[in-house]
Amino acid sequence: MELRELEWFVILARTENVTNAATHLHISQPTMSRALARIERQLGVKLFDRNQNRIRLNKYGEIYRAHAVRAMQELTQGEERIRTLVDPERGVVSLGFLHSFGSWLVPSLLDQYHLVAPLTTFELEGGAADAIVDAVRNGRIDVGFVAPRPNAEDLAWVPLGRELLCLEVPPGDEFADRESITIAEIAARPMIALGPSYGLRHVVDRLFDEAGLTPTIGIEATELSTLRALVRHGRGIAIVPVPQADQQSPTVTIPISDANAFRFYGAITRNYGPTGTPARAFLEFVTGHFATSDIDREDE
C-alpha cells in the first residue's frame, strides 16, 4: 500500500462518494476505485457498504479511518520535526544540565542566545550528572552542561569554566565567623552531600581523598536546593559552589582555602557533535561566548 492511497482513503471516508473524492484529489474515478480495492484486498475486509451508487463507511472502515488519520498526523509531525532539526533559525535544541546550573548558567545563556536566534526553542531537562551523561549518550539530549568532566571516552567535552567551592553553614554555627576553612577542619563535622551519582559529590569525594581524609556524610540529598535548605535548618554543613552574586541565602558561606577547592564545568555532546543544525549552532555560540569571557578554564 502506498502512502498516497492511505490519504485517498481518508478523503473517501470523509466524502463517502467516489466521484467527489476523485474530483477533490484530481484523479480519475477508476483510479480511486482500484486504490480502494487494493486496500480492501490487503486488509481482507470491505471498508464500505455498497448500495447501488452510494457507499457508506462500515465498522471496519471506521476503525481503519481512525488509525489512518493518526498515522498521517504522525508522519506530518515527523516531517516537521526533521525540518526543525535542519533549520537553525526555527529548530529545537534539547538541553540537559545539573540542577544548580538552572539558576544561573542556563537562563543567562538562553537569554543571550535568544537575541541571535529568537525562533529557536529549547527542551530543558535538569538532573544528576550521570543521568545527563546517559541522556547525551543515547541521543535524547543534544547538549549537556555538567561538572566535573565525566569519565566518558565516547563523549566530547568542551570546557567552559570553573566554580570555586565553599562551605555552607547555618547562622550561629561554630564556623560561621571564619574567613576561610580547610578540608581537614571540615572532616571533623557531619556533612550533608548529594548522592554518589551527582557531579558535585564526585568533586567533594576527590577533595577529601586528596587530603587523605574521609568525609562523614550524615544526610544525602538529591537536589542542591534541598541540600541548602537542610543546612539552613541546621541539619548539617555542606560543600557547595560559591553562590552567584544574585543568589541570596540566609546561610553563611566560607571560602575553602585548599588550592583544589573548585570544579570545572563544561558542555558534553556525542563525540561527533550534536545531530541537529540548531544544536550545533547553539554549541558554537556557547563555545564562542566562553572563549571570550574572562574566566579560568580547564586545559583541554
CA 32 – CA 48 distance, rounded (Å): 14
pLDDT value, residue 246: 61
Q: At what angle do helices 105-116 and 277-291 cross, to 10 degrees?
A: 110
The pLDDT of residue 294 is above 50: no
Measured distance CA(173)–CA(225) in Å, rounded? 20
Domains and CATH numbers, the chain: 3-86 (1.10.10.10), 92-160+264-291 (3.40.190.10), 162-262 (3.40.190.290)
Chain center to CA of 108: 17
pLDDT at 139 (0 to 100): 93
Dihedral Cα 136, 139, 140, 141, nearest 10 deg: 40
Q: What is the pLDDT of residue 93?
A: 93
Which region, left, alpha or beta, applies to residue 256 given φ > 0 means left and ψ of -120 to 50 means alpha? beta
Spatial distance between the Cα atoms of 167 and 165, rounded to a whole number of angstroms: 7
C-alpha cell at 108: 543567562
Q: Quick check: 123 and 84 in contact, CB under 8 A?
A: no
Is the Cβ–Cβ distance between 210 and 186 less than 8 Å? no
User: Stretch 153-172: mean pLDDT, rounded?
Assistant: 95
DSSP character at residue 215: -
Whole-number pLDDT of residue 268? 98
**Are 193 and 238 contacting, i.e. CB atoms less than 8 angstroms apart?**
yes
Residues in contact with 19: Cβ distance below 8 Å, sequence separation at least 6, in sequence order:
29
All three cell numbers of 266, joined, read 563544561
Mean pLDDT taken over the chain: 90
> Which element (helix H / strand E) includes 36?
helix 29-43
Cα 124 to the chain's mean position, in Å? 4
pTM for the full model?
A: 0.67
Query: For the chain, how big is the Rg over CA atoms in Å?
Result: 29
